């Protein structure tokens, strides 16, 4: 007796329901985590030349890391109010005058990524930065958004911030993250080292066929 393919699919769905499970997922990451360093040494993977911008925007790929090994990321490594910044120091950090490096600067970073057809919860932004200034972190998923104030801790020392994001992703949606400099503290801007977005994302598997069919 021939068995209809449609009947096989119906039986598989009824007898073996679709299985889903959540896995830790790196949505994107920017920069190289160098928390043991300080000052400009944390930002050497970012662009050393280029004009100052009010907002720097980039579309990212889901699950992608930037920069790729050995390549400079053409992205500002310093957040401030738009003034040109020049740091003079040695490889040991601040206060020296052996050589200089110009950093692209911006008042805000804006990253956009489109999710695949997944459900993601427990979004967390890891943000390694310097300075005592305040940044606003604005996260948008579809039509929902949240703004979180991120306070700097120390001048000249990198600090890592784990920031829970109270939003979820359902299916194909646009995720937008904006980090906007607000000043305060020493009011001279701060270096960026590493930014990463993670979540628990649910992967759906098709049902297996019943044995013998």
pLDDT tens track for 141-175: 999 999 999 988 877 777 889 999 999 999 999 99
Calculate the average pLDDT of the chain.
77
Helices (H) and strands (E) in the chain, counts: 1, 15
Give phi and psi for 172, each to the nearest 5: -85, 110
Question: Is the Cβ–Cβ distance between 183 and 134 less than 8 Å?
Answer: yes
Lowest mean pLDDT among 130-139, 147-156, 193-202: 147-156
Using the predicted structure, report yes or no on whether residue 96 has a pLDDT greater than 60.
Answer: no
- Report the predicted TM-score, pTM, of the whole model to 2 decimal places: 0.77
Q: Which CATH class is domain 10-201?
A: mainly beta
Pairwise CA distance, residues 43 & 163, whole Å: 21
Q: What is the pLDDT of residue 19?
A: 47
Among 101, 108, 98, CA closest to 85: 101
Pairwise CA distance, residues 210 & 15, whole Å: 8
Q: pLDDT (tens digit, 9 = 90+) per residue, 115-129?
A: 998 999 999 999 999
Among 184, 183, 192, 156, CA closest to 81: 183
Q: What is the pLDDT of residue 120?
A: 96
CA dihedral for 83, 88, 93, 94, sign (positive or negative): negative
Pairwise CA distance, residues 49 & 45, whole Å: 12
Identify the burial level of 93 via C-beta atoms within 10 angstroms of its C-beta, where 0-12 means exposed, 13-18 middle and 19 or more buried: middle
To 10 degrees, the CA torsion angle through 151, 152, 153, 159?
120
Pairing of strands 78-79, 99-103: unpaired
Pairwise CA distance, residues 48 & 200, whole Å: 35
Give me 64's structure tokens.
């992608």
What share of the chain in percent tops pLDDT 90?
38
Pairwise CA distance, residues 98 & 110, whole Å: 34
Q: What is the pLDDT of residue 69?
A: 56
Q: Which residue's structure tokens are 């740091």?
A: 87
């Amino acid at each position: 007796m021939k068995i209809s393919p449609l009947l096989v699919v119906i039986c598989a769905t009824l007898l073996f329901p679709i299985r889903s499970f959540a896995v830790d997922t790196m949505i994107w990451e920017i920069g190289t985590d160098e928390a043991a360093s300080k000052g400009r040494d944390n930002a050497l993977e970012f662009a050393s030349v280029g004009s100052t911008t009010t907002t720097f925007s980039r579309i990212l790929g889901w699950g992608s890391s930037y920069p790729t090994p050995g390549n400079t990321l053409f992205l500002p490594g310093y957040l401030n109010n738009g003034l040109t910044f020049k740091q003079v120091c040695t490889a040991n950090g601040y206060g020296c005058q052996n050589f200089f490096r110009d950093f692209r600067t911006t008042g805000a970073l804006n990253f956009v990524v489109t999710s695949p057809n997944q459900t993601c919860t427990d979004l967390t932004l890891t943000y390694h930065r310097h300075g005592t200034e305040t940044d606003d972190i604005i996260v948008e998923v579809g039509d929902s958004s949240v703004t979180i104030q991120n306070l700097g801790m120390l001048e000249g020392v990198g600090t890592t911030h784990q920031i829970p994001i109270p939003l979820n992703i359902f299916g194909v949606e646009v995720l937008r993250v904006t980090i906007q400099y607000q000043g305060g503290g020493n009011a001279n801007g701060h270096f960026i080292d590493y930014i990463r977005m993670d979540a628990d994302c649910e992967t759906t598997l098709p049902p297996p066929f019943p044995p013998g069919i």
